[in-house]
Structure 1
């Protein structure tokens, strides 16, 4: 690493200054799988979601190419018959692949293995009752949500980052691609979160034009096979549609549509999965004129919501709309202290389990300190449980926290 050990004490604050500004008030949006996705049938209101299910290209060609691209981006060798095989034989990619193997091996030992073991025990019943995961303010972070909920069928992610596209051959041949990937992954593989402002720049480059390339990479590195990808969008009523091929039209900021992408996977266990990513601002101001994300989320069945490194946005008065939807439509909420403030949980409506350690937010978010959490973590009758990995802005294992909230009363209409 290019940072010295002494600098690590102040590193989180430096990252947050670059990462979690008020401009990051864009949030993530929820999208439901089309009728062809198996998860939809399990959602009560899925029939209200309309979409054109015609594939973007022939399934065989699309399946082979997108998986090879995902592997190539992740430093994993594409299939021998792939058109990318010659590129993977070049010294630049081979050096990149070796570097990625080292980074991912370290991440597995410090995070993935511990997270998988912990979640299999502490989230066992949650995982078995969570067909749909909602991850607002996610950015491209499929890595953490899949690690926590590997058995879910549908994942709905929303962030400010542009959607992006499957990289073309010219992009994959560009020598600037590998440094761009390494720069984008550096903080998430070392500290479990993305640097928001840096990511906004990284994902508007020629090499990485949005969240989708990194989501593909994460899918490959977590043992998933990418079987198909297509552009989608939400109309003004929150209905899912296939997006036009015209990228200029799809990315028009004046458009009434919410742009997104649908990624089909075959999980490590062989089961199909559907991942949606939408680029949307979830602040109350934006939702006044573009409330398709809210319309869509309200149409989903019972949710499990996951929130981490969310800039404490749902602590704020001007994120009331998305906060209320999460609280009204979720059976389970797994979050760090940057998610929904404790004062917004209805008394007597939730059961709470606290994990790890709660001290104070990093300096950038000091005003979001919660005395209620300090009290909860000092409870000798119901003491907090251990958390064997680091997560969130207080990324060290000894400083991290998670809250599991389980609903005790029926879902709101």
Structure 2
């Protein structure tokens, strides 16, 4: 897979006054042996509005790697390693100090943010020429900034809201809540009325709303539901504060929903994918969707924000982008940075973000009209909240959180007990994360 070439494309762009390749020729290379670069990416579905042949994001990353090999100034071998979504830690931390350690990682920020505090992820400020920074949306850029330095280059984002089955709503006498062409919001009283009406009218085997606590997968949507009674979830120090009255009220709202028939039976044992299947089969009235997945439902669904402390409700955003790791080889580190410079100074590869919400403003200008519901989701960005709370180790917190919801749904704990348990265990994980935290020097 090794190819030799030069930074001609980047030089052309720089000469044209567009974007500069900050890393090219910034470090003298030694020897003629190819530099080996490992790029890791989780298996992730991905659509591109101008290229129907793309169905997985790793195909795009592989194309970037091959282009970089072809256009780079010296021989380089790039290996793209694909791993499953539930294997982040095995693929990243589990490979540290081996020849499979990632030099570049592409992934969802709420997953890859954990690795910033290992001290191995390098700040990328030297990669980001002013023209590159100016082209990236502030809200997506800021997700990767820690203590004033950038540790992720955003590539695209998916914004999550809830979808409701219009036909089920109308059949339940809830036509007044069906809104066309907008992302709407309902008060908590309206949510309760809607869920009760659905529970009373849906046929056997169909259910009003998603709920699951079989694993940490999808738990970000459940924690967002806990904002329903006005809870901010976190206090000013970034610790869980569910024992406040608003948090307990939200936990009680969910627990009472079990007895009122709002959720599929034994939701404590369900996975998010179980609820996804029910929704696709027309057996679930309300389920999570994002701007990249709504096309599969056509005009059969409407969109609504999660219930939240504000009248406009809550949404979540999953920015995806690139990190660079320092594995103790200065030459490899520079090549990894040059790879990012190559991607972000090449319009072809930036364009392949056009399917989700591109981080690039120029790509959004070119393709926004073709991206399903693009304007709706960009306009809804103000309702996005940070479900990580700035935690230094989100994965460890997630490993704890879902177990508390599992017991709540089973009725093994009261809302007050669940809140106290989640506060204690999640905050212990947060404190442990801070104790081990270090940034790259």
Q: Same fold (TM over 0.5)?
A: no
> Please, what TM-score do these two structures have when normalized by structure 2?
0.28
Query: For the pair shown, which has the larger CA radius of gyration, 1 or 2?
Result: 2
